[in-house]
Chain A
């Protein structure tokens, strides 16, 4: 069992994080650390609040992560907000006062609670007006690692996020000697409203890794010849898309933080060699996926989104925005270990260290090469572009080698266009008995997936087509497929128009795909296929129905929606109290979306129905599909949305359980 928890710090100690400067901090009576001390001393533990009654005050705080003083939105003057430590079974009260001049709110992410305590303005309550307070009160019915954040405006981007740790009633199924929160986030000196406006005006504003002549084309041409180099570019150019379009907002403006500290400061956690250290990794970023690894150290994943999973030993994991992953590491050597969390687009990293001695510093490893999207990441076989349906007229693409092994139902490439309209109408109502049910695939041979060989009952499936393997220039090796198989995908009428620039034609289950930038990198990377709950699936009922939702958008116009319908124009999704329902998400965009359902658990379908991992946030890979089961056991109005902050306003639904 856990002992000597580092987190068991005195309650209500407060520290200004990062390089928060004196001025305002002193005015608020905070205990600001001297500026220069940061690079020589061990970082202070997170401010920690424990007990059952909490007073939280939302206000402004001057911070300095880049050399410029900026105003952050904080709780009790701290960025990240104080870590809250609860106990399973307690009834807790959180009195939240808003000292901002705008409305605010706090949402307890992943916490099962009554709808009116969920903290989503417009759904759960009216929000907290300036100067007002709101008392949250609920029973804690779960344990593990969670977090909290504002659900108002863009306040989360400017610092309003903190960790929640819930100690379990029952002993934990693993032991450790030290316990640290690693809260990853992204900070920009640019006000988030401005970031959003920049994206609307120039969607690639923050992408500083677009292909160039000197860095890409000429070297490629010298290696492979001009014809090959140009033809490789051809498809993307024709589609008016960029295979370097990984993140909307990048290290060009972001400073990536670990527990509120910049890579230069380097958050530091202490250990004694031989100890077991639990790291509770929380992705509290507004827009950034992180790939975290500790060179020379295996990590044992023991929980995901707060829920125990059967231990998996990995070298690296990708953590989507709003996910939490608990790992246990056992550093043996008397040396500093780098906690290296590179942004998915390799535009920067968050960095800290585990060290036996504050004098020993770890240097971050070199970042991996910037990822390049493949055809598979677009869920495609050929182009399927928007208005002019150029997919119909496009000549066959030259084989580029980066999409080999990906099964391609060529015959039905344009199914969405050819379907009788009756199917599309059904889809448009966003409640659709899918034609493709997830089924374990038994027809796997030699690791080469031909998903078309599986014919799930009732589904229309098609002979697949395997492209030959090849090795393109600087391309990742192909992903080999997943035992869940999907049939034809139908796109709703509402997905056609100026607001949607792409529809995945052959979205596959890719749970065992580590994702772009991590495939075949020589390290064992955690995938969703590795996740098996420690406990039996609590609700073993078959789902009574399926709701298929497509994540849609127009990157260049920077518009985001579900089924092509933005939140402002969407009808709520209705669930019947008590029902078990399958939600299938199809990602019709080129980037991963972390989708979060409030109030109820999402049991991710991995192919093993007995031990479905329970999650609150699910990452749908670009051009892929994924499904999960939900028991509608919480009455009320709940939010359901993409957790990328600048996607959320459009890619959002109200879920009504009655």
Chain B
């Protein structure tokens, strides 16, 4: 199923439609949060990808149905596309439990996996997301993502982000091996024109770790990658 190709349609369906809140304190709302929509320039490859990280949800204060899409396109071809559809339930003032489905339309294997997640705000305003993906044969992948805002001025915001991925299995053709596999450091500088609209510049450095790095080296690939980014962040 190529759900991702229908994303624009889904986006339209998720347009905010709060007609009359009336006395209902907890109306069903929708949000389309385009966290990142960017051009990413890779010096080594001297090419520019179109990348995105988008989250849409439909729901109430404590219960939401969430659809996320993360991916990249290069020269008209899709790379690294993944879709996640899950139920997000508030379990404490700052934390949510997530349960759902992970889908990679382009991967040759491990197409669909179950998703168990924990997301929320940790002390120090650390926006945190931990996703556990379970595929066939007890294959597990854990992804941890932590970011926060550092408000430089009223309008300029620095947004550092750290991502870590680990597996309990090996997939040599994808340079994935058991153990800590990827480290992703990103830094974005946003110009917050409005709270819901901010262009940004950023840089990211991704590095393969441990056995995954060995697999990449063995096949003659780089173990790290630097990208310069120029993009837009907006929601409605």
Q: Report which A residues bind B (CB closer than 8 A).
A: 102, 121-122, 152-154, 193-194, 196-198, 200-202, 204-206, 208, 210-215, 237-240, 385-388, 390, 497-501, 554, 556-560, 566-568, 649-650, 652
Contacts and interface: CB of A to CB of B under 8 A. Distances in A.
Contacts of B195: 198, 202, 204-206
Nearest to A236: B125
Interface in B116-173: 121-125, 150-154
Nearest to A153: B22
B23 interface: yes
A388 B18 contact: no
Interface in B3-27: 16, 18-27
A567 B121 contact: no
B147 to A, nearest CB: 14
B150 to A, nearest CB: 7
Interface in B57-91: 61-62, 90-91
Contact of B123 (A122, A390, A500): A390
Interface string B75-113: 000000000000000111111000000000000000000
Contacts of A501: 93-94
A305 B20 CA distance: 31
A153 B21 CA distance: 7
B185 interface: no
A385 B95 CA distance: 13
Contact of B20 (A102, A202, A566): A102
Given A194-B18, A205-B196, A390-B123, A200 B61 contact: yes
Given A212-B152, A212-B154, A498-B62, 19 more contacts: A121-B23, A153-B22, A193-B18, A194-B18, A198-B196, A201-B235, A205-B196, A210-B151, A212-B153, A237-B125, A240-B122, A385-B93, A386-B92, A498-B93, A499-B62, A558-B61, A567-B25, A649-B22, A649-B23
B29 interface: yes
A153 B27 CA distance: 13
Contact of B152 (A122, A194, A214, A568): A214
Given A196-B21, A557-B90, A237 B123 contact: yes
A568 B25 contact: yes
A197 B196 CA distance: 12
B192 to A, nearest CB: 10
Nearest to B96: A498
A240 B123 contact: yes
22 contacts: A102-B20, A122-B23, A153-B23, A154-B21, A194-B18, A200-B29, A202-B196, A212-B154, A213-B151, A214-B152, A239-B123, A387-B92, A388-B92, A499-B90, A500-B93, A554-B93, A556-B93, A557-B61, A559-B26, A567-B25, A568-B24, A568-B25
A215 B155 CA distance: 12
Interface string B170-196: 000000000000000000000000011
Given A237-B123, A387-B93, A153 B20 contact: yes
A153 to B, nearest CB: 5
Task: Name A's interface SS.
Answer: loop
B31 interface: yes
Interface residues of B, number: 34
Contacts of B235: 201-202
Give the residue among B18, B25, B195, B235 with the most A Cβ atoms within 10 A: B25
Contacts, number: 116
Contacts of B27: 197
Contacts of A197: 16, 18, 27, 29
B25 A650 contact: yes
A240 B125 contact: yes
What 8 A-B pairs come out closest when comparing CB atoms?
A387-B92, A386-B93, A649-B25, A650-B25, A498-B90, A501-B93, A238-B123, A212-B151
Contacts of A121: 23
A102 B90 CA distance: 34
A649 B18 contact: no
A329 B154 CA distance: 40
A355 B153 CA distance: 40
A559 B21 contact: no
A208 B16 CA distance: 24
B23 A201 contact: no
Contacts of A193: 18-21
Contacts of A200: 29, 61
A566 B25 contact: yes
B47 to A, nearest CB: 35
Contacts of A500: 93
B94 A214 contact: no
A557 B93 contact: yes
A201 B31 contact: yes
Contact of B150 (A213, A556, A652): A213
A642 to B, nearest CB: 11
B94 A566 contact: no
Nearest to A102: B20
Contacts of B151: 210-213
Interface in B29-51: 29, 31
B11 to A, nearest CB: 16
B126 to A, nearest CB: 9
Nearest to A240: B121
B233 to A, nearest CB: 12
A123 to B, nearest CB: 10
A240 B123 CA distance: 6
Contact of B25 (A208, A388, A560): A560
A388 B16 CA distance: 33
Contacts of B122: 240
A206 B23 CA distance: 22
A213 B20 contact: no
B107 to A, nearest CB: 32
Contact of A559 (B25, B91, B121, B152): B25
A240 B94 contact: yes
Nearest to A560: B25
Contacts of B125: 237, 240
Contacts of A652: 23
Nearest to A154: B21
Contacts of B23: 121-122, 153, 567, 649, 652
Contacts of B21: 153-154, 193, 196, 649
B166 to A, nearest CB: 24
Contacts of A567: 23, 25
Nearest to A386: B93
Contacts of A210: 151
A395 to B, nearest CB: 13
B94 A387 contact: yes
A199 B121 CA distance: 17
Contacts of A152: 22
Given A102-B20, A154-B21, A501-B94, A556 B61 contact: no
